[in-house]
Structure 1
Amino acid sequence: MALQSGRLTVYVAFNCAILALFSFTSTAWARGSPNVMSLLQPYDFLYYSGVRAYFSGEWGKAAELLEKSIATRESLFRVRRQCHDDCMAAGTEALKKLGKLGANINYIRYSITGNMIICLNNAPEWSECLRFCIGRSVTHVGQLPVSADIEYEFGTRNPYNFLQVTYYKVKKLQRAASAAHTYFVANPSHLEMRNNIEKYRRMDASHRYWLVLYDAALQLEANSEWKQAAEKWKACVNETLQQTEECRVQCEVASQRLPEDRGVDSVDGVFEKAAALSLSLLSCRQSCVTQVATRPGRISAQEDFLPTQLEHLHIAQFKAGDISGALQTLRSLLLFYPSDKDSLDNLQLYHETLGGDTESQSAQPEIVRYISHSLQEKKLLYFGMENLDFTFTDPVSTDAKLTHLLSYPFLFVLSAGGPVPQVGVTITMDDEMLNGTNRVVLDGVMTEKECDRILQLASVAGSLGDGYRGRRSPHTPHETFEGLTVLRAVKLAQEGLVNQSDAKLLHELGDRVRTVLHSYFRSPSGLFITFTHLVCRTAVTDDQKGRLDLSHPVHVDNCLLEPETKQCWKEPPAFTHRDLSAILYLNDDFDGGELFFTNRDAKTVTARVKPSCGRLVGFSSGPVNPHGVTAVTRGRRCALALWFTKENVVKTDEETEGGATSSRNARSQVTKEKKRERGRVTGGKDEL
């Protein structure tokens, strides 16, 4: 059955070759292969056997089996890669012999996996080559896919947890230390291992070399050793590309589960099922970006991992005087960020300095291929999402500039500078004045009378510690904190405890702010209120002398900021669903309490905003906008904090019971969890 869509119909010759097909049934396995003395056993069986021996107290046997399971898994990956390369090479040789295709050849539809064309009539040869090649080194059972539980065990390095105990029991203390640290790196919250971290820091038995290069390059940068830093960054880029390709090859060669049959009512034919399998393969290949960019112990990847390396490499090469290399790296970086102002300005500077020489310097071929393959895969995956009910989560954030080439309408990108629809509202500060991205300060959003009404509502109905489980001083002992939600205000109004018109105004202010920011930031999708919180901070009398703390520490609204590494991790307890943040100020009769923005180091202040009645600050909730609040040293500072999401999801109890309209659907609040690590900056519900 053919796909019923004219939007992505591509034809290829029916008798074309699949890069690695045709005559390699004799060629590929005639070449060299991994030198193994016996067939590899299933590593999941070895692991389970080792765990069984562990719980039986057979320490020597357990250590042997656990070691063997780890080594077998690594060998299996190497065999798969070698067989992939051998079959690919044999198929390429066969392709050269094929020559040009004739004009009278039948055509069929095809799917692209990177630069590989899968032709159904030649798939058996490709499959046979891999099956024969891998079968020379791995048992039939060892080739079967392992369970998700086993993948999780090895992904979290749990075999090393068992190994460190068995090594200790058999008095192999050096190996025990190495295994313990290897496990700890991936499980930093494990208290039993934490105490020995300094002792074992450099003994990771399963380190990721590209991350070692990354950290070393950062250190060289900090010491202004630019030439050495450039060398490290270049090695880091190459190693990252190599590891990404290694991961992608494993997706192609590893055993895959066939797509599930939808039952007797299914109309899927052979092409639909083949497309589903192909899309699963592409999805696996795309996930490699996340896997390579995820540090051990994290559950989220470092954003824009490869582009970040290229940014650092460009700076280091320029500082080291390697202008030619810096220009090539800059052109590579522009493939990710084609409209980045700083990069375009730098390119113009090179053009003015070097003249025509800049035109001859192109981007790195490896980066060009990387982006080309990724875009081809994404286009097919998005096509599958729209037409084949395929589920795919893009591992690259919507901030990454690769998405500009895809042009799909559901991607959420803010673009500051739109019109302000409310009469009397003026733009006081924009991105340029605030030294950042997607930031704005607007005045005149509320009148003095409206500010007074909401201030009175806060005085009457505000609850100490609201949003912080009743803790009246959640951020600093020098200030008390009060809060009020829209839902609680409406309930109090229904009970006659507060003025109903004031509660209604509090509710309407959320829609007013949403309308203004939706227009100014030219949001391509709707904006939906996810939480609204009226908050007041009051300086504790006679307790302000010598204060050095903040009213609210520096943080990011939708990820966990780690100032030491300048990374921001999109994982709980952060409110990862937030896309846009806003603060609507109510007064200015206090000292301190200024909002300030910083770089990712949480120290370098880039802009400050002084509160006043009716002043609105809006900014994107992501890692480009770390922010905090200076100490309130006198008086009471009140503001309305709001957060928005681009997704129209299930209403919260607050929005439903508060009488919100359909335009205010919002995501349920994420349950707060205990901080997982030191060094991460988190905030409470107000976060402003």
Structure 2
Amino acid sequence: MAAAQCVTFKLFTIISIIVCLINACGGDQQEAELRDSDKNYIDYYLKAKVAFEEKDWPALFDYVSTSIHEYESVRRVKVSCSQLCKKGGTYQDITTEESKLILNLIENSHCIRSCLSKRLKQTPSNYEVDKAFKLLEPYEYLLAAAFEIGNLKAAANAAYTLYISNPELNNDKLKRFGDLEGFDESLFVNYLEKSYEVSWDKILDLYQKEEFKKLINVIEETLSEVEEETEKCRSLCDYDLLNFAENDTALHNVLSRGLIENIKCKVDCKRKVQTIKGYFIENFVRDLFDYLQFAYYKVKKIKEAAECSLTYLLFTADDKRQKSNLKYYLQILGQEDLSPRKAYVETTRRDNEEAAQVFHLKEIEAQTLKKRSEEEIVSSFNKRHGLSIYANGNELKGENHIVVDGLLNEEECNALTELATAYSSVAEKSEHKDYKKEVLTVGDAVQMALRDKKLDILRVEKYLEVVEKARKFTDLYFYLDGKIYYSLIELTTKNSKDLEYCDSPESSCADSPDITASLFLESESEVEGLVKPNCGRMIVQKLGHRVSPIQNSNRYFIKMEFSFNRRSIHQTIQNSLSLFNSVRKMENMEEKENFLKIVQEDHLEVFKREDDLNGTDRFVVDNVLDEDTCKLLIDLADTGSLVGDGYPGMESRTSPHTNSEFFAGMTPKRAAELVKEKKALKEAVTTYLRKSERSRQIAESYFTNGKKQIYFDYTHLVCREAIEGAQNNRQDLSHPIHADNCVMQKDKTCIRTRPAYVQRDYSAILYLNGDFEGGKFLFANQNFTTQALLEPQCGRLVGFNAGHYHGVLPVTKGRRCAVAMWFTLDPNYDELNRYTAQEILDEADIVKAMGP
């Protein structure tokens, strides 16, 4: 009890301090505003927007110029205050690391605001205006105003500033000045140019000229400037945390998303700082040390060269060439004690810690999201089907039990008991030796309804419909849309003792099913037991556990058993269900309605059908994923996608299909290994597997109409990213027109032969985002002209015959992520990768349960 009170007190203390700090920050700001009402960059920017609407170009030029100048002044003060307010370990009595981190960051933010209130006449704060400055919108206004008033030099410089920030997007803005007489692009000024940007060309020039002493001086100066700019960038992230708090009043968001965004902001500083003249040079600092070690070697400063090699290896530990250089230097120096540069040892340590912090905090956020999603999904399913929870795990003394009402009404219960009675009568008289007189299996029900015409087909349909509803409920309640498989379905009148299963993990229970369910068709009030039978009531027990048995009662109920293992599926059940569905649809002559029914039940939206797509065997549905799930999977891709994954021999980040894009991918097995290494969230990898499986189910219902099962051949989480500066006059595609199971010929025919993946029958793509430019999916005619174009967006699933011609338009800005899937009708090609991934996840759970 004392421990609980201590935890509660500490939590209360944390929240109180946060609220106090946030309120205090607001107070400082109000006090500053009372002291002085002078205009600041926010006021000038808002006036500039009004001037633009009124086309008052001179006023616009003055307002936006002043706003930019004031913004940069305030930014310098923010950096200064942020660096002044850096703290660490103030709250030593708080035991959890995330609590210390939160409190220190928010205290720093408060300190920054107090510092600003003392050093500025007014403390400016406007989230939307600050966002506009980050997007460089003021320079768009400056360009327009300068051009209209005839100040072409200022207009050209504004255009050049925008061009450098994004060469592809803003190339046209600069072109009109490059064509004017007297304008030389080499004379243009980048208003936002960092001091060390001009050094890069100089470094390359000095290296070519072999002027190594000058080269050393320039590189050392550049490293210092990069380090200083990085610290400025990181300092502003702490200021932004308070802005986040002031614009999101939900405390849990400040404690979770705000903190994650703060750390991500600091991680993103690498990209901002190492973008040189519009191009992100990923290994900019590392490569500087490569040039530096060589320059020191050439001037015979071997110790300094060795230190630079050691520092280089902090960034890329397995670089063979650099290891060879270091070995050579050490042979010359002997056993002299050497180490990398201290500042960069600290930098890499800090970067690793921040990555671990993001992982930990995102794991907490994912768990919260998962719990909320589970509750919402189960609630939505229950409401849609009229179900209600009669008793849950708490009432049944175990989280593995659930009792739900409402799967059948009285009329439906009566119809199924009549079906069982009719079957018993037919079975008694039948010469078919395999018919079980007291148990109606799915296989027998389908055979007798379709072949022998001795059972009412509508009652059999209700039988199959309710067991599928029961499976879906069980699936959702325990596994949040994870796939479980039928291993037994029986409509029985046997004694209720058959409901008893092992409730211990002993070897005697080895054959117990993973999940059992019993759905009652009759109500009885006289029996003893914790749960009484009732029409439409279902008892579900997970992992072979047992609820209190109800003795001495013969009654009708449906007994179901489910397995987690797809290989354990009862093939007779699967074949019978497929056969029944096929025949029913053939009778109705509506062979695609099964697909549409599944889509409607899952709240999906049919975006385009075959007629819209100018071809058969293709579909598009939306809402397969929500925004949170898409973000979770994109974050997974960020965690450990492999460059060129799926294309052996790739050694660069460029795509195998174009030199204008980066390409990286991740298989389910790779994702599971990241969980084992504690580099990825299990929730994300499980979602990857489950949502791709759901996509397979949708594709199967559409393409085979339930007649055949389709299997995964390959699953791939992939991202394509436009390379800045490589989009000018681009003529190629992100992925050229092709088909997935044949070899394309020069005459544009495609032959289904090796080395193509001839086993592939169907393909599908589940998109994760749409916030990029270009990258539309296209269906093509045999002459490579366009049949249909599709815009990717989160949750959009595109399915098509693997032999159809298709491609991807160039991604010209941003990154395009999706889960690509290929399916086969041949079970011999069933993707082993997915089973291995699940085994790795299960093994990780066992290790976690055992503890250290």
Q: TM-score, normalised by structure 2?
A: 0.41
**Structure (1 or 2) with the greater helix fraction:** 2
Q: TM-score, normalised by structure 1?
A: 0.49
Larger Rg: 2
